[in-house]
Amino acid sequence: MENKYPQTFEVIELCLLAGKIMLQCGAETYRVEDTMTRIAAALGIPNSHSYVTPTGIVFSTDDTNPAKLIRISERTTDLYKVTLVNGVSRKVSSGEMTREQAFLKLKEIENANYTFPIYQQILAASIASACFMVMFQGEWNNFIPALITGGVGFTSFIFLHRVVQIKFFSEFIASFIIGILSILFIKAGMGTQLDKIIIGSVMPLVPGLLITNAVRDLMAGHLVSGLSKGAEAFLTAFAIGAGIAVVFSFLS
């Protein structure tokens, strides 16, 4: 009888790679589990089991292969990679792509860098900060202060996070810098609405995707993932609020 287990092991490796990329790039927990299950079913393993949390993936089959666990330590937001992995999953499910082709494509996706250059991210954060200030009914004479404050705050967050791998600390210091710059602009007569400048400037730091994924995971029944992502979003919001509160306590 033909030994099917080496092939099963390769399918497990393929599913784990797909799940790893998606989870690292900000996909919802239920989407990761669904993608892994679909790939396994398309490649001859209809009864697979996966357990996904924001920090790890456990995947197993009904045969004698042991369950495999991979740890997720780095998480970011790259929805383009999530879309690419979903595309690979659809092609595997429809028979347009073999297991070997899918594995090579996923390796290519994993190693690729689709993120925008740092200067473009900072420019986008600056413009978004100013536009959010206007959206929150701020006056146009606060546009430039919000643009500069948001850009400097986001820049400090990026570079601090590279130096200190503690996201809470980076977000706290970034919001602290935003608060200081906002007050300085007001005292220099270059702005008139302190609250609107601060609100617009901190918006690039707000964990919008994380909150959305937390709610969607909770609605899909993934309570552990939903609560953990919600807690992470709460810590980010607390860091932003604490940074601004410290500024108001000492400088306002």
pLDDT digits (tens, 9 = 90+) for 156-166: 999 998 888 78
The mean pLDDT of 128-152, rounded to a whole number, is 92
DSSP designation for 112? -
Structure tokens at 165: 């791998």
Binned at pLDDT 50, 70 and 90, residue 4 comes out as: very low
Pairing status of strand 48-53 against strand 56-61: antiparallel
Structure tokens at 163: 């130096």
Q: Does residue 21 surpass a pLDDT of 90?
A: yes
Task: Provide φ and ψ at 69, rounded to 5°.
Answer: -125, 135
Residue type, 168: F
Query: How far is it, in rounded angstroms, from Cα 20 to Cα 58?
Result: 11
For 174-195, the pLDDT digits (tens) are: 999 999 999 999 998 888 888 9
pLDDT score for 1: 37
The mean pLDDT of 139-157, rounded to a whole number, is 93
Mean pLDDT of the chain: 88
Q: Does residue 59 surpass a pLDDT of 50?
A: yes
Residue type, 142: N
- Percent of the chain whose predicted confidence (pLDDT) is above 70: 96
